[in-house]
Structure 1
Amino acid sequence: MAGEGGVGALARFLDGSIPDREALPWYVAPVPDVLEDLGLRLAWLIVAVNLAGTAFGFWYYRFQFAFEPVVAWPVVPDSPMATLFIALSIASWKLGRSREWLNMLAFFGCLQLGFWTPFTLLAFHDAFLASTPLWLYCFLFFSHLAMTVEGFVIHRYSDFPVWAVALALVWYGFNDVVDYFVPIVGTTHHTQLPGQYVVDGVIQHVWSIHRVAAAGAVVLTMVITFLALTTRIEKLKRADS
């Protein structure tokens, strides 16, 4: 009887209506439908995991916060902000109050940081592994890749309106500018990477490292914009057919 009760509780937990999956091209909806369905049914668990990740992320950035001016703090913890956006996006959808601007911030954030972090971990793997425990390196790598999966599920409950895509592009484009090119104040604000040391309270952005990280971020922002607008176009095509 206890086993049956447990199965019933699990069934109730997984129960609930979820949006149908549209027949979108694989490159804008690469996650298998079974995995998408599971993620949507476990929505509140996913929200909780992302909020925990957000808390961990702010803790992880605690040392960099000490060297950044307070006015720049909103653009420093990129990954924690992305996990906060996706947590709020999913929660809003579950509550029947989906916000497209929030959905697009989550889409851009999950894909940009979900791909950029593994990219930098691989590009500077020797330096990272010299200063980071292997378990933490692997955790950062795979947890950020999981963010990309979350981002690619948003099409199930978002229409990807152009105005919301534009808003997200403005925010993440601004973030790229102040992270790598024109700081709000002081030096640029991207995540401190191995080899970029602090001297007299100022992070030294070594150009050979800085340019690789910058190139990855800018290219990703362009690709994500293309994916968002393509998703919008494909959804409109299917609505008209």
Structure 2
Amino acid sequence: MDAATRLRRLLDDDGLPAKTDLPRWLAPLPEWLENFGLNIAWLVVVINLVGTAFGFWYYGYQFGIEPTAMWPLVPDSPVATLFIALSLALWKLGRSNEYVNALAFFGCLKLGLWTPYVLLAFKSDFSYLHWAMYNFLFWSHLAMVVEAFLIQRYAEFPSLAVLVAVGWYALNDLVDYFVPIVGTPHHTLIPAEPVVDGVVQHVSPAHEYAAAGAVLLTVAATFLALATRVAKLERGGID
């Protein structure tokens, strides 16, 4: 098989879920890119698992200053990449799980946009990062958004699954910015909020800017997931 044939096979839809004719604002990726992402799903799974491991390493310092009881709610991006890895792997194994799909969609969309937003909003404060790490964080998180829009090809986003995802990410927003339960708010550290004697100083307006982005993206993910389900029902994309 020559290289051109291999490439065509990676870009075609043989063996993939049928594409529903969704409006562009719900399915912004070109069909060839959706096909490519789904055809290399196992590679994407491996990349995301590596990213998850890197993410837990990246959060190492923050784990050290957070109460142990809150650790499950601290590493937002690594958990999101774990969700998308599980979502794609279960789909490839013929055991697609709508709860995991919804969590993956919310996580990749929300954290995939929140991190670049914060990197730009507080760009001068991130000047301590090497340019390569800054760009890696920026573009790798935007790639998570691309992954989020692969999920609509095989997910139905039933209401209960969306409710579970809303509950998880609303809980994250609650403890990250408003009611920390234990200690201080637990959102990802941003350099505009200094750490003094092991305690994060959630200064204004940096805290409010970070919170606004997170909450708005949770709302946006909710709307897009439910709108996708409605559009699929209207167009016969759900049996």
Please state which band the TM-score falls in when normalised by the shorter chain. over 0.9
Shift of residue 184 of structure 1?
A: 2.6
Indicate if the aligned counterparts of 1:14 and 1:42 stay in contact, CA closer than 8 A. no
The answer to whether the 8 A contact 2:76-2:111 is kept is yes
Deviations 1:49-83 (A, max 9, x none): 00010011001000000000111001100000000
Residue of structure 1 in register with 2:185 after alignment: 188
SS in structure 2 at match of 1:239: coil
1:175 corresponds in structure 2 to 172
- The SS at the match of 2:185 is coil
Distance across 1 between alignment mates of 2:197 and 2:130 = 27
TM-score (norm 2): 0.94
Opposite residue 53 of structure 1, the aligned amino acid is G
- Percent identical pairs in the alignment equals 59
Residues 1:148 and 2:145 are matched in the alignment: yes
- State the number of aligned residues: 237
TM-score where L is the length of structure 1: 0.93
Query: Which residue among 199, 222, 225 is the counterpart of 1:225?
Result: 222
Matched with 1:80 is: 78
Following the alignment from structure 1 to structure 2, what is the Cα–Cα distance between the partners of residues 179 and 155? 28
SS at match of 2:168: helix
Give the letter for the 2:217 counterpart: L
Residues 98-117 of structure 1: pairs in structure 2 closer than 5 A: 98-117=96-115
- After superposition, the C-alpha distances for 1:111-131 in whole angstroms (9 at most, x for unaligned) are 0000000000000011112x1
The range that moved more, 56-65 or 197-206, is: 197-206
* 1:132 counterpart (105, 125, 129): 129
State the superposition RMSD in angstroms. 2.0
1:24 to 18, 22, 33: 22
Aligned residue for 1:207, secondary structure, equals: coil
Question: Which structure 2 residue ranges, 5 or more long, are not aligned?
Answer: none
Q: Look up the match of 2:69.
A: 71
2:175, 2:222 → 1: CA distance? Answer: 19
Secondary structure of residue in 1 paired with 2:235 = helix
The residue identity in structure 2 corresponding to 1:189 is H
1:201 aligns with 2:198: yes
Give the superposition deviation at 1:153.
1.1
**CA deviation after TM superposition for structure 1 residue 7, in Å:** 8.0
1:150-189 C-alpha deviation (Å, 9 max, x unpaired): 0011000001111100110000001000000000300000
Q: CA separation in 2, counterparts of 1:99 and 1:240?
A: 17
Q: Are the equivalent residues in 2 in contact too, given 1:85–1:106 (CA < 8 A)? A: yes
Q: 1:5-59 CA distances to partner (integer Å, 9 max, x unpaired)?
A: 8888888888961111110011110011000000000000000000010011001
